[in-house]
Structure 1
């Protein structure tokens, strides 16, 4: 009995030690509040210090395209005072890597971020208004909406000049190798053509068939080399767009005529659906033919026999026309849809492995369209078909303007 009483007293003593009084509990709560407040304040100080000391330029723009904030790195990079509230066209003047001005176009990063309401990571731009002090940067563009529905866009830009120098050396090497490969390949293609035409004597059908296969392989190699050469020249800033007045009907018909043999071989029908009175375009005809050729050839390749590929053109708005290439093919799997325009991307889809390809056609199409100030995209339904569409500028007669 005595042991039980002593044990109970010991437990009560422990409870008194472990259980604080009301006044002590009140002090602890206050201490917690002070601690949380201090942590929050310190966190804000750390974030502010990180923004102030980072070598990346942090630029905050209002939705009316005026500057709201520049961190010290942005002030130094753009040579603009921290208190500046100038319009972004007078400070950033965003350009793509081919020095095409994006301000006022649908390719403007601020416009795209606000329209998508999502971040744009790794956007490569040239910033600055002084021709002697422009900066190639890799930028993340992040839209922010406050509780009062006020929208801002935060640019975080990292100077890529040193990396660009290394990439330029590599691109120069690839360009040189591609150029050296093209000459002998063209020679081989030419001599095969002479053989097929009978200049070196008559051949039997089996010989002609195997030479035909060889010519197709050489032509494919030439196309690959040409595409790699195109991409490396673009990376080096040597890609020029020579725009002129072009009528879309004639342009599309040229592409259809050139791809008709491929369509007949694949048992796929090509159709035109161009609205009457579609206005003229202001484009580089060779480059836009290249875009259409890539899109239509892809559509033919990924459409089963008996399918249809339709090329259509409609006026998109007062400045742009939309051209679409629709097919009744296999569609694009969901897991591949985010990688469609990536260079050298190869799908694991069984149809892709069966039909081949090297993953540059769509990257080149995107590059050319963006050089014209347009945009490119697609809609797809698996086993129903895919529609690729892009916008290009309309021709406006200077006399009428």
Structure 2
């Protein structure tokens, strides 16, 4: 395997502008040929030394999920013998899990499966790896598929231990969580007292007073929602958030979401449709969290769809383990320059429609987090001025008695 990798590195070196260019072999003397060979050998040794001495775990995996090569850092991190691990299945060595500790092996969310299917690099995947329950590691991993010739394809799995960074982030998240919690209590008090005023407990109000108190209540409610979302994100970062999965029927869940958002749709003059088969299989999800995902996606779709448009919630079976749920609108679409930032926290587009609609950029980040903690994936397709479809997968329910 190592010879194949070295051969590939030797082939690619003539196009690597960061390294000295090797002159053409045509018309050169034997001494020049020897110098070129010596340079190539020296560089091969340098590449080999870099792989051997790096603190990052590096593994080469075959398409049938076997370990073809691993460096000393990978053996040390995963606590496996360097010599006897080659040939083992990656499920026996890596045991990839998401941050919710849900196993990814054998699912469509497996990073190796996704990289090989997409035939493109998969960078910055946050995973938990290791087979020893007492020595699990949170890592930032990348999976890069490579083709050495027409017959052999591999994937290079590189992982960096994020433990030290996680500690620093945990301190920051604790601070944000504490501040958010302290804000929530007085905001709820203000909200409650405004309710008492509007209900007339402190005396009759005229229409103008009611109007201004209504505006105040909306502003306070928005602040409470922001604080709740920030608390949600920080608790998740601290590992204090978990999903409580159970058997759930999708149709009733979607009806609840559509009913709660119908007033918003009517105000925006947008039609809200459901395309959910009556015989859709039961899901294994946390109903409150997936309802939160649907609320975020449908509310966004309504907000960015002009009057007379349509928002449709639909579902279809993705594979034998997952259902795919989609929210499609006929709205403004997402500009190309914003596509790579859609799921980033607090990201705000410079697009004119975004400035009109407002928002604080956490809804889609929260949706992505919840879906991934269910072991699913989330993505979107968009055409500017025609519409956008957000889709995500969630696990199907399997009766234990039938397994």
1:258-308: CA deviation from partner (whole Å, max 9, x where unpaired): 111111111111111112311111110000000000000000110111111
Equivalent residues of 1:182, 1:225 under 8 A apart = yes
Matches of 2:252 and 2:62, distance apart in 1: 44
Structure 1 residues 284 and 202: alpha-carbon distance in aligned structure 2, compared to 1, 3 A threshold: same
Look up the SS of the partner of 2:29 in the other structure.
Answer: helix
Q: Does the alignment pair 1:51 with 2:51?
A: yes
Q: Give the alignment's TM-score, normalised by structure 2.
A: 0.91
Q: Give the alignment's TM-score, normalised by structure 1.
A: 0.91
1:64-91: CA deviation from partner (whole Å, max 9, x where unpaired): 1111111111111111112212111111
1:25-72: CA deviation from partner (whole Å, max 9, x where unpaired): x99622221111111111100000111111111111111111111111
Counterpart pick for 1:327 among 326, 329, 336? 329
1:301-342: CA deviation from partner (whole Å, max 9, x where unpaired): 101111111111222222211111111110001111111111
Counterpart pick for 2:209 among 207, 210, 219? 207
Q: Does the alignment pair 1:160 with 2:155?
A: no
1:136 corresponds to: 138
Matches of 1:120 and 1:69, distance apart in 2: 19
Matches of 2:114 and 2:92, distance apart in 1: 19
Q: Which runs of 5+ in 2 are unaligned?
A: 1-25
Equivalent residues of 1:98, 1:234 under 8 A apart = no
Look up the SS of the partner of 1:391 in the other structure.
Answer: strand
2:6 corresponds to: none
Structure 1 residues 252 and 33: alpha-carbon distance in aligned structure 2, compared to 1, 3 A threshold: same
Matches of 1:48 and 1:231, distance apart in 2: 41
1:179 corresponds to: 181
Counterpart pick for 2:276 among 263, 274, 277? 274
1:392 corresponds to: 394
Equivalent residues of 2:99, 2:373 under 8 A apart = no
1:307-386 alignment runs, 5 A limit: 307-386=309-388
Matches of 1:130 and 1:317, distance apart in 2: 30
1:23 corresponds to: none
1:102 corresponds to: 104
Equivalent residues of 2:272, 2:310 under 8 A apart = yes
Equivalent residues of 1:294, 1:361 under 8 A apart = yes
Look up the SS of the partner of 2:400 in the other structure.
Answer: coil
1:32 corresponds to: 32
1:218 corresponds to: 220
Matches of 2:329 and 2:39, distance apart in 1: 58
Matches of 1:27 and 1:112, distance apart in 2: 47
1:63 corresponds to: 63
Matches of 2:106 and 2:315, distance apart in 1: 24
Mark the structure with the bigger radius of gyration. 1
After TM superposition, where is structure 1 displaced by more than 3 Å over at least 4 residues in a row?
none
1:12 corresponds to: none
Q: Which runs of 5+ in 1 are unaligned?
A: 1-25
Counterpart pick for 1:119 among 114, 118, 121? 121
Counterpart pick for 2:88 among 86, 89, 105? 86
Matched residues, number: 376
Structure 1 residues 34 and 263: alpha-carbon distance in aligned structure 2, compared to 1, 3 A threshold: same
Equivalent residues of 2:251, 2:278 under 8 A apart = no
Matches of 1:166 and 1:233, distance apart in 2: 15
Matches of 1:327 and 1:303, distance apart in 2: 7
- TM-superposed CA distance for 1:399, in Å, is 2.1
Matches of 2:330 and 2:89, distance apart in 1: 47
Look up the SS of the partner of 2:123 in the other structure.
Answer: strand
- TM-superposed CA distance for 1:376, in Å, is 1.0
Matches of 1:280 and 1:28, distance apart in 2: 71
